[in-house]
Each structure stands twice: as structure tokens, then as C-alpha cells.
Chain A
Amino acid sequence: MQFSQNAVLSCQILAAHPLRTLLSIAGIVVGVGAVVLMVAVGQGAEQRILDRIGRMGSNLITVNAAPARLMIGRYRTVATVTTLTARDARAISEDCPHVVAAVPAVYKSLVVHWEGRNTTTTVIGMGADGFRVRSIPLAAGRPFEAEDDRLRKRVAVIGQTVARNIFGAADPVGQDIRIGRVIFEVIGAARLRGTDATGMDQDDVVFVPLDTAMRRLLNVPYIQTIYVQAGSSGWMDRVERDVRELLRERQRLSEGHPDTFTIQNQHTLIKTEQDTARAMTLLIGSVAGIALLVGGVGIMAVMLMAVRERTREIGLRRALGARPRDIRVQFLVEAALLAGSGGLLGLGIGIGAAVAAARLGGWNAAISWSAAALALACSMTVGVVFGLYPALRASRLEPIQALKFE
């Protein structure tokens, strides 16, 4: 009780110099505020990217029929390579353990026509289980099935962007569209999926059965992509290794020869993303550390001033029975209170700014309470550390000299 009364007294003394108190904690306010805001923005962005990666399908490994080359800071597959076939996909699903499905796919940019309107879009020919493997839910109609694929039926499932571009408000299901020179019946419309991890519009597509695409539309014997789904996320790396080994064997690549294909592991993608986020967090952390350090110097300056101003009070307290330890604790508590209030203020400002930024940017504000608590604890610690020297000076004052101090 007496301790808390002393703390109340300390607060009153701090509140008596509002401007000075505010200036002294400015560094801490900015530091903590920046951390909360940056972490919220960073986590919000990370969440969006992870959502996009997740939208590709779960436990997905993508095999592309071309070696990747680094171009302008990005991996791109170059040229058309004709080494991958639908039989490779079948081999993967039959020979590799822990593989749930291996879906072959081809794609090409083609013009789609309907009643005098047309749009250029990506036509994807894929196995029927691609809808499940790549998490493509339908908004209307039905997906094509393995039977449609086997009979090379001319049926199509269209993405929302295509639907909007050529059908407008009309119901696309049941309509006949022309892709190239071939007439297809629209049997379904995919649900809106948004952009993928690379920023591609995943709704500007038309899905058709693989065999229909290969024989009737593109007239090619090879495929471009195999989507491999692993049994669980724990098997991803194992499946990637198995698929690479199998494909190299099937293509008779000698040891040391580079892959003629590229394997993209969803896990690796997520990990890369998380590594980037972690590096960002580290950067934010060090910036915050510097801000807190500067804030600590501000606290130290004000506490030294306070000790000087209150020398007679210190002398009085010593005369009335305060031990050096009591004086030390009092000034440490004041420094911690000062820094803590700065931390709280920064927290409020940071959360407010994060919520405002989220509303402007149209994403969910990911306020990290653990980061907020950490920032608050750090600011209190800074207060204690930088308050230590002033507190020691206060506790070492001789009572008589302190009482006589003018």
C-alpha cells in the first residue's frame, strides 16, 4: 500500500511537467508505435501471400517441362520443352509413394468467342482431378470428369474473369462458346479465386479436359505441367525427391546433366516467403531497438534532471528513514513508469495506425499481442536500465548535503 502511494506521488510529480515528460518518452513512443504498426502491416501482408499460396491447392508440387533460369531477379521457365508426357504423370502417381494424385496439364493463350464477343485467355487442359488437387471450387454447373476426358468431350469450365468479359450478366452454363475453331459447351463456372502468389489472375482461364485440349485444340503429344499432390505436408520433400529421381530416370539423364524440368514445392515457396518475413521482422526489430535506445537516453536525461531538482526531497526522505536502497527503488520505479507510459502511448498509436492502414488497404489488421507485450516489456526494461544511473546517483547523496542543497 505504501509502495503504491509512493508510486502515485511519483506519477503526480511526472504529470506536473507534462511537456518535459512527453518529450522524454517521445523516443519510446515512436519506437513502440513503429514496431506495432510494422509488425501488423508485415503480418497482414504475409497472411495475404500465404493465403494466395494456399489457394494454389494443398501439399502441391508443380513440375514444369522446362529448366528454370534466373531472369531479372525471377525464376522463369524458358522456351517450350517437349519432354514431359501424360505417361510421366501416370508414372508419378503409380510409382511414387505418398503421392495422392499427379495431374497433367497443358495451357495456351487462345481467343474465346461467344455471340460476336471475344476475349483472349489462357486455356488450360487438365486431368479431371485437377479441380480437387488445385482447389478449384465451382460457383455454378459441374466440373468435367474422367469420363469426359476419356471421350475427349468438348466441355469447358470458365473462370470468373472470362465469364464477365464475354457473358457479362448472362448465365454462362449451357452456352456454346468457340475456342479457336472448336465449339465447346460451358458446363460450369469456377468460383472467384483472385491472384496467385506471382500476381497472376487465376480467374482469367478456361478449363477443358486434357485429352480434348491435346487432340482437338492444340494437337500436341506433350504436356507442360504436372501437378503432384502429396499425402501430407510432411511428405512434401520426400515426394519432390522421388519425382525428380523418377523423371530423370525416365528421361535417361546422365549424372551431372541438369534437369530438363523444374520442380516447384509449395513448401519451399511458403518457406521463402516466411524467410523474407523473418528478415523483415529482424530489420524492424533492430530499428525499434535503436529507437528504444534513443528513448532510453531521453529517460536518463529527464531522470538526472529530476534527481537534481528533487535533491532536497531525497535528503528529507533519507532523514525520515529511507535507506539508500529505498531511494534507488523509488527512482527506478519512476523511470519504469515513465518508460511504460511511453510504451503504452506508443502501443495505442501503433494499433490505431495499423487499424487505419488496414482499413485503407482493405486487409485484416493482424495486431500481434505478443509483439505488443514484448514492446511494452522492452520499454519498461529500457526505463529501468537507463534509470539505473540516475537512481544510483540519487541513492548515494549524503542526507545533510542533500537537505542543504538549494
Chain B
Amino acid sequence: MIELENLTKHYAKGTVVTEALRDVSFRVERGEFVAIMGTSGSGKTTLMNILGGLDTQTSGTYRLDGLDMARATDDELSGIRNRKIGFVFQQFYLLDRADALKNVMLPLIYADGTGDAAARAGQALAAVGLAARTHHHPAELSGGEQQRVAIARALVTDPVILLADEPTGNLDARNGLEVLAIFQRLHREGRTIVMITHDPAVAEHARRLIVLKDGRIAGDQPVSHQRDAHAELGRTAGDASGAEPR
């Protein structure tokens, strides 16, 4: 699914060259749920941008679903982002003036031959448990619901990979767990998910953990004790004091 070989990324600012990524290699197979963890400055955002086709590497190769991303033109990259990648951002990035359904339909505007866009968007919203919120505007939704709309938007084109950048970063513990529970359910249903986070507790909801440090891979192993977001939600619901599980 994802193949990275000796990927490097340099940023030149005047005469100073920053090495954001150095010699990064790993593979992500279909159906995996991978967390990429690192502190700020570790290169995880750069990696996310390259994985998402929003940026290109300085050297090395990146293949997504067999396609060499370095050879794609700007327009082709747009098409790849549209069809193969579903983005979930920390700040949700919903259009304030469009209701949930229209927000979910947004990627379909740029896809060809999408059939009944409204029906597909409706199904995607139902998949994240928001069938009842179809015509609510973002301002009328809680943060967790907004992020779920964003997940529905990422799913509506049926992408090969879901790329989430700090998906719980702007949410409280409970809403964060709800989002993670959705990711875990999608993973069980066979989705390939790559989630970037700085938070070990969030990362432990994935099955595999890649740790980035100073632009290099410092660790890549399965998560030994995977957390179950659904179970954690059950515990917070039972706990009258509402203790934070994170």
C-alpha cells in the first residue's frame, strides 16, 4: 500500500539547509492501523504532507498503491489526493456555510463519475453515526461531531488510505475517544489508517507504532497492549466523576 525507501526531505532557507526527514523507509500494508509518533520538530508533519501528496520528497521513493508519487504532475497529485487519500485534520477544516451533507460532498465535486453524490455523502455520515445531523451546520455541532463529519468527508470517496493528522488534538478526552473508536471500527472493517500524533496514549489505539526522532525512524513495532477506545468510553460513562482516561 505505502512503500517508502530512503526518503529524505530538505528545506533550504537562505544558506541554511534543514533536514526534516533522513533516510526514512517503511511499508504499510493494506488493512494496517499505524500510528506515527514524534515530538514537534521530529519531521512527522513533513512525513504526513509527503504521504498525503501535498509535498514531495527531496530524494528516495514513495509509492502509494503502486504509483510513484514523485513522477505525478500537479494535476495528477490532485487526482490521487481525491481518489486514494482521505484526510482528517486536527482543525477539522469544515466549511462554515455548508451543512454536514454539503461538507461531506465537497471531495465529490472534484471527482468524476460519482453517481448520486448526496446519497453517498448520506451513507458516509451514517457510517460515523451522524445520520441525524445531516443538515446541521458546523457551528451547531460539537467538536467531536465536527471531526466525525470530517471523517465522513474523508471516507466519501472510498480512499485506499485514511491519513489523520492529530485527529484528537482539538478535542476533549471523551470526544477524542469517540473519534478513536470510529478509527478502530473502520480498521476492523478493513480500512488502512495512518495516524500522526505526539500523544503516546492516542498512539496506543493503533496496532503498530512508528516513532520519529530528528527526521529518522527511532522505532517501529507492534503496539503491545492496544487500547480499546470503546471500552474506555464505557468506563468514563460509568465513572460519575468523569475522570480523564488519558
Give the CA-CA distance A320 to B107 in the complex, in Å.
Answer: 5
**Bitwise interface map of A from 385 to 406 toward B, beta carbon under 8 Å scored 1, else 0:** 0000000000000011001000
Given contact pairs A319-B81, A321-B78, A321-B110, A2 touches B89 in the complex (Cβ within 8 A): no
Asked if B97 and A320 make an inter-chain contact with CB atoms under 8 angstroms apart, the answer reads: no
Q: How far is the CB of A8 from chain B (nearest CB, A)?
A: 9
Query: Contact between B52 and A13 (Cβ–Cβ < 8 Å)?
Result: no
Closest chain A residue, CB of each to CB of B95? A313
B75 within 8 Å of A by Cβ? yes
Residue with the greatest number of chain B CB neighbours at <10 A, chosen from A2, A13, A16: A2
A16 & B97 in contact (Cβ 8 Å cutoff): yes
> Which of the candidate stretches B23-31, B98-106, B140-148, B220-228 sits at the interface with the other chain?
B98-106
Are B93 and A403 closer than 8 Å at their CB atoms? yes
Q: Which of A1, A13, A312, A322 contacts B110 (CB 8 A)?
A: A322
Identity of the chain B residue whose Cβ is nearest the Cβ of A315 in the assembled complex: B93
Cβ contact within 8 Å between B110 and A400: no
Interface size class of B (residues with CB under 8 A): 20 to 34
- 10 other A-B residue contacts (CB within 8 Å) besides A318-B54, A400-B54: A2-B109, A9-B102, A13-B97, A317-B110, A318-B78, A320-B81, A322-B78, A322-B110, A323-B79, A323-B110
22 contacts between A and B (CB under 8 A): A1-B117, A3-B109, A9-B95, A12-B98, A16-B97, A317-B110, A319-B52, A319-B87, A320-B106, A321-B78, A321-B83, A321-B111, A322-B78, A322-B82, A323-B78, A323-B110, A324-B74, A324-B75, A324-B78, A400-B49, A400-B54, A400-B55
Which of A1, A12, A319 counts the most chain B CB atoms within 10 A?
A319
| B202 interface residue per 8 A CB criterion | no
Interface residue? A136 (CB, 8 A): no
CA distance A2 to B82 in the complex (A): 15
Q: Cβ of B109: which chain A residues have Cβ within 8 Å of it?
A: 2-3, 5-6, 322, 326
Q: Which chain A residue lies CB-closest to B163?
A: A319
| Chain B residues with CB under 8 A of A316 | 93, 95, 106
Name A11's closest neighbour in chain B (CB-CB): B97
B117, A2: Cβ atoms under 8 Å?
Answer: yes
Q: Name the contact of A399 in the complex, choosing from B54, B79, B82, B114 (C-beta under 8 A).
A: B54
Does A359 count as interface, using CB distance less than 8 angstroms?
no
Compute how far the CA of A190 lies from the CA of B102 in the bound complex, rounded to whole angstroms: 74
Complex: chain A residue closest to B45, CB-CB: A400
Contacts of A321 in B (CB 8 A): 78-79, 81-83, 107, 110-111, 157
Cβ of B153 under 8 Å from chain A: yes
In the complex, the answer to whether A326 meets B110 with C-beta atoms within 8 Å is yes
Who on chain A is nearest to B110 by CB?
A321
Interface centre among A13, A322, A323, A324 (most CB of B within 10 A): A323
Known A5-B109, A312-B93, A313-B95: A325·B87 in contact at CB below 8 Å: no
| Closest Cβ neighbor of A325 among chain B residues | B75
| Interface SS majority for chain A | helix
- Residues of B57-113 contacting chain A, CB below 8 A: 74-75, 78-79, 81-83, 87, 89, 93, 95, 97-98, 102, 105-111
Q: Which residues from chain B contact A399 at a C-beta distance below 8 Å?
A: 54
Q: How far is the CA of A281 from the CA of B89 in the complex (A)?
A: 58
A319 neighbours in B (Cβ, 8 Å)? 52, 54, 81, 87
B74 touches A323 (CB 8 A): yes
Q: How far is the CB of A110 from chain B (nearest CB, A)?
A: 81
Per a CB cutoff under 8 Å, which of B49, B74, B82 touches A320? B82
Contacts of B106 in A (CB 8 A): 316-317, 320
Q: Once the chains bind, are A320 and B75 in contact (CB under 8 Å)?
A: no
- What separation, in Å, do the CA atoms of A400 and B54 have in the docked complex? 7
CB-nearest residue of chain A to B55: A400
Known: A5-B102, A400-B55. A12 touches B83 (CB 8 A): no
Among B140-177, those with CB < 8 Å from A are: 153, 157
Residues of B within 8 A of A312 (CB): 93
* A12 and B97 within 8 A (CB): yes
Q: Which residue of B lies closest to A13 (CB)?
A: B97
Report the Cα distance A322→B78, complex, angstroms.
Answer: 6
Residues in B whose Cβ lies below 8 Å from that of A12 = 97-98
> Which of A9, A326, A403 has a CB less than 8 Å from the CB of B89?
A403
How far does the alpha carbon of A318 sit from the alpha carbon of B75 in the complex, in Å?
10
Neighbouring B residues of A403 by C-beta, 8 Å = 89, 93
Q: Which residues of B contact A9 (CB under 8 A)?
A: 95, 97-98, 102
Which chain A positions have C-beta within 8 A of B157? Answer: 321
| Complex contacts, A16 vs chain B, CB 8 Å | 97
Residue of B75, B78, B81 ringed by the most chain A CB atoms within 10 A? B78
Residue of A nearest to B81 (CB): A321
CB distance from B165 to the nearest CB of A (A): 10
**What residues of B have a CB within 8 angstroms of the CB of A323 in the complex?**
74-75, 78-79, 110
Proximity string of chain B (15-55) to chain A, C-beta cutoff 8 Å, 1 when within and 0 when not: 00000000000000000000000000000000001001011
Give residues of chain A (5-22) contacting chain B, Cβ–Cβ below 8 Å. 5-6, 9, 12-13, 16
With A and B bound together, what is the CA distance between A321 and B77 in angstroms?
8
B residues within 8 A CB of A2? 105, 108-109, 114, 117
Which among B49, B95, B102, B109 has the highest number of chain A CB atoms within 10 Å?
A: B109
Identify which of A1, A13, A16, A320 gathers the most chain B CB atoms within 10 Å of its CB: A320
Chain A residues lying within 8 Å of B75, measured Cβ to Cβ, are 323-325
Complex CA distance for A37 and B224, rounded to whole angstroms: 80
Q: Interface digits, A1-45 against B, CB 8 Å rule (1 contact, 0 not)?
A: 111011001001100100000000000000000000000000000
